[in-house]
Amino acid sequence: MSTGGHKIKVVCRVRPFLGSEKPDHAVSVESGRVLRVTNPRDSTKDIRYNFDACYGSEAAQEAIYKNDVRPLVETVFSGMSATVFCYGVTGAGKTHTIQGTESAPGIIPRALEHIFKHKERDAVDYDIRVSYFEIYKEAVFDLLKPRDATGALPIREDGNRKIFVAGLSEKQVLSYEQFDQLYQRACGNRRTASTKLNHHSSRSHAILTVQVKWRDDVGEGRVWCGKLHLIDLAGSEDNRRTDNSGRDRMAESSAINRSLFVLGQVVEALNTGATRIPYRDSKMTRILQDSLGGECLGMMIVNVAPGEFFLQDTQNTLNFATRSREVVNKPVAHEVVEQRWTVADRLQHHRGASQPVRS
């Protein structure tokens, strides 16, 4: 499969407007690869951003899965590793994309269904194991166990210099239904832990790993192992502009900002063929080191909201995720309504209140 010369594909997804939002279309998909966003400095201009693929608000979960994710899931059955990240600010659609809902299942349920279908089809005895952990303030927590059962887990290096999370549980799953039960319970653990620690789950990275292992039935029976990591990243919002009062929030924000920054650097270094890849600079990239780079395939889904309310966050997200952009004239002149959002508006919005309607 070609990844367009990239080790890590970067694709963009614009979510639809929610019922409470004013449909002011600050962001639009120009083609299958180009996103157009209003230039915040000059509203007569747009900025065009190029991606490996671009999905508009009408894009179905199935389309993204089939076009971009399924080929990565397939590589697991060649004994390779693949990683999918969802990056974006809180409210941009990361969890919807990676997890989805009952009526619109996202990447995780689709990938697992695919893996179990593959298992039924092949006459191979695949051993499928799952682990699920979160990284909060650079500490690793097992989500397959109640938070009270274990504290933060250390990262170690084995005799072959392979990095692993010591004590992380790995559960064997025999069917999709068994996986789903385990996963739902783990999501419950994440919510409970979030509440206890007084932090919202959007402030941690959640990493689901599916390992598929089997033995060749030819020759001396070589053992193969493929891995798939599906990751819902912490919200990339600039916490200084929102609610980072107090020392705890500062520490939290700087840990999030730093780990996302390192991830961006790793993606950039891999895609430009740099010799030094800064894996060691954050816990997440250290843990994923063997699954990023080399022959491993990866994909970063950049989630953005469609409206003007998120425009500054959207610009920051896009500037993080793509190096290629250009300023162009707007195709049709239209009236621009000046909007000023106060910190209070933002806070209200992040707390889930409906967006104030401006005339």
| Residues in contact with ligand ADP by the rule CB under 6 A | 15-16, 18, 88, 90-96, 202, 303
Residue nearest to ligand ADP (CB): 93
Choose the one of Mg ion, ligand ADP, none that binds residue 88, judging by a C-beta under 5 to 8 angstroms depending on kind.
ligand ADP
| Closer residue to ligand ADP (CB): 95 or 285 | 95
| Closer residue to Mg ion (CB): 94 or 349 | 94
Question: Per-residue string for binding with Mg ion, 91-110, x by CB under 5 A?
Answer: ---xx---------------
235 Cα distance to chain centroid: 10
303 belongs to the binding site for Mg ion (CB under 5 A) = no
**Measured from the CB of residue 36, what is the shortest distance to ligand ADP in angstroms?**
19
By CB under 5 A, what part of segment 160-179 binds Mg ion? none
**Measured from the CB of residue 305, what is the shortest distance to ligand ADP in angstroms?**
8
**Measured from the CB of residue 43, what is the shortest distance to ligand ADP in angstroms?**
26
| Closer residue to Mg ion (CB): 94 or 205 | 94
**Measured from the CB of residue 317, what is the shortest distance to ligand ADP in angstroms?**
11
**Measured from the CB of residue 227, what is the shortest distance to Mg ion in angstroms?**
23
What are the residues binding Mg ion (CB under 5 A)?
A: 94-95
